Amino acid sequence: MEGNKVKIITTKQEICQWAKQVKTSGKSVGFVPTMGFLHKGHLSLVHEAKQANDHVVMSIFVNPLQFGRGEDYTAYPRDEERDKKLAKEAGVDILFMPSVNEMYRKQQSIKLMVTERTDKLCGAKRPGHFDGVVTVLTKFFHLIMPNRAYFGLKDAQQFAVVAALVDELDFPIEIIPVNTVRVPSGLAISSRNVYLTIDEKKQAPALYQSLLLGKKLIEEGETSSTVIIKTVSSYLNKQLGETVKIDYVELLSFPELEEIAEVSRKVILAVAVQFSAARLIDNIMVDS
């Protein structure tokens, strides 16, 4: 086990005091925001943060503001004791675990609204979701005052939105992207994978294989978005069959997340698939 101590903080006042003391001492802080139910993907963020910072802070907070209509906030998986154990073993120094009442003590009189990079991919069907994401991150950034914050590229749309938040509102924070962690079959690690049936677990690696196929097309000189999307979609349909619904296959500029007719810059190829009890997303970046 790497870590042998982790300090748990539950109030904004205490985390702010801690952050001020660290800043005064000239030490650096790496921040890993999570909603808990930790897995290897989250722990890879901690590993990256430990390489470049004197202290690592992880937040565990299931943020109600980013749950929309039809999404059950109370059903989100939680296991605080397991999370504490994994955070300690990974070497987290501070575990910030505030309550909802602590983070949102009164009716909000100011709202943050994301106006770009949200009408594609998963954001297209989750209006207001990223408003909740940038609201809670703005609060965390002010309280923790990190030098760097770490985000997994499995949720590349979130990374793109956070990058815009930091850039446009001039937060003195470096946003660090961390590559998706995968099992040997190529399937991206996700807390949702536990809901896959035995047969679906055999099918699910097709998501990553379809992305590799699209990447190969681009690297071999194909520039038509239509051709690339059609090829990837056809592959998924063939591998998954009629019982699995393909939510989307999209090829967009990155990080702007704008539709393109021809590939001529860095792009993201992304897919989302609805299995019987789990919706999986995956993506791959290609810099042409």
CA 181 to the chain's CA centroid: 12
Angle formed at CA 236 by CA 234 and CA 240, multiple of 5 degrees: 125
pLDDT for the residue numbered 2: 47
Which parts are annotated binding residues?
Answer: 35-42, 66, 152-155, 158, 181, 189-192
pLDDT for the residue numbered 4: 62
- pLDDT tens for 44-91 read 999 999 999 999 999 999 999 999 887 888 888 899 999 999 999 999
Mean pLDDT of the chain: 95
Which parts are annotated binding residues for ATP?
Answer: 35-42, 152-155, 181, 189-192
pLDDT-derived band at 158, boundaries 50, 70, 90? very high
pLDDT-derived band at 1, boundaries 50, 70, 90? very low
Domains of the chain, by residue range, sit at 7-178, 191-287
pLDDT-derived band at 210, boundaries 50, 70, 90? very high
In the block, tokens 């042998």 appear at: 4
CA distances from 113 to 32, 52, 123, 173, 250 (A): 23, 32, 13, 20, 24
> What percent of the chain lies above the pLDDT cut of 90?
90
- pLDDT tens for 245-279 read 999 999 999 999 999 999 999 999 999 999 999 99
Least confident of 69-78, 127-136, 278-287: 69-78
Same CATH topology for 7-178 and 191-287: the answer is no
SS3 content of the chain, % helix, strand, coil (to 5): 45, 20, 35
Q: What is the CATH number of domain 7-178?
A: 3.40.50.620
Strands 266-274, 245-253: pairing kind: antiparallel
Q: How far is residue 143's CA from residue 28's CA, in Å, rounded to a whole number?
A: 14
Do residues 281 and 271 touch, judged by C-beta distance below 8 A? yes
Is the pLDDT confidence value at 288 over 90?
Answer: no
Strands 55-60, 7-9: pairing kind: unpaired
Q: What is the CATH number of domain 191-287?
A: 3.30.1300.10
Which parts are annotated binding residues for beta-alanine?
Answer: 66
List 61's β-bridge partners, or say none. Answer: none
Nearest to 82 by CA among 29, 38, 114: 38
pLDDT for the residue numbered 186: 96
Is the pLDDT confidence value at 144 over 70?
Answer: yes
Q: Which residues does the annotation mark as catalytic?
A: 42
